[in-house]
Amino acid sequence: MNYPNGAKKVLVKQGMTETADAFSNRGMTLEEDINTTNKYYLDLDKAIVHKKPTPVQIVKVNYPKRSAAVITEAYFKQASTTDYNGVYRGRHIDFEAKETKNKTLFPLANIHDHQIKHMESVIKHGGICFLIIRFAAYNETFFMPAEKLFSYWNDKQKGGKKSIPYNVIKESGYSIPFQYQARIDYLAIIDKLYF
C-alpha cells in the first residue's frame, strides 16, 4: 500500500494485513484515529491541526540510572482548553474529542466549564468549534457543533439534565463514517456546514 508520504507499508499481524486490522479494530481509540487523520491532512497540505499538549509542572524526578529519569510527581499547571486546534481554509478550528462507553447518553461531566468558555470565545472571534463524540459500544462517531452543545450545557447549569441522549446526538449531530486514510474525516462535515 502506498501512503501519501510515499512510504510503502504492509504488516502481517495474526494472519491479517494491517488494512483488515484497521477496519475491524476501527483504529483502537478516538485520539489515535484523529491523530492519524490530522497527519493525513497535513501530508496532503489540506489543513494544519495538532493536538494541544497539556502543560505539566514536574515536581519530583528520580534517577535510578544515569541514563534514565523517572518522574514521580507532577501536577497540571493550568486547566487545558480543548484537545485540538489548527487552521483550515483560512479559518481557525478548535475541538474537543470524547469517547464514551455509555450506550444511551453522553455525560456532560466529560466537559468542563473552562472548556465551554473557551469554545464560546472561539466562536465569538469567528472560529469553528465543535465536539467529536464516539460511542464506543456502537463504533459510531459524531460531529457536534459547539453551538448545539451550549443549550444542553446551560440547561445542566440550571439544574436540568446532566447528559445528552444518544438519540439526540444521532439526530442533531453529523455522523462521521470510518474511512481508511482520513479515519475521522471531520473536514468533510466542516465543508458542508461552513463553506
Confirm or deny that 36 is annotated as ligand binding.
Answer: no
Which backbone phi and psi does 64 adopt, to 5 degrees? Answer: -65, -30
Three-class secondary structure of residue 61 per DSSP: strand
Cell of 137: 459500544
Element (H, E) at 103: none
113 is in an annotated binding site: no
What is the C-alpha separation between 149 and 120, in angstroms, rounded? 10
Ligand-binding annotation for 115, yes or no, is: yes
Q: Quote the DSSP letter at residue 127.
A: -
SS3 93: strand
83 is in an annotated binding site: yes
Using CA atoms in the order 174, 175, 180, 183, what is the torsion angle rounded to 10 degrees?
50
Would you list which residues are annotated within the binding site for Mg(2+)? 81, 83, 96, 115
Would you list which residues are annotated within the binding site? 81, 83, 96, 115
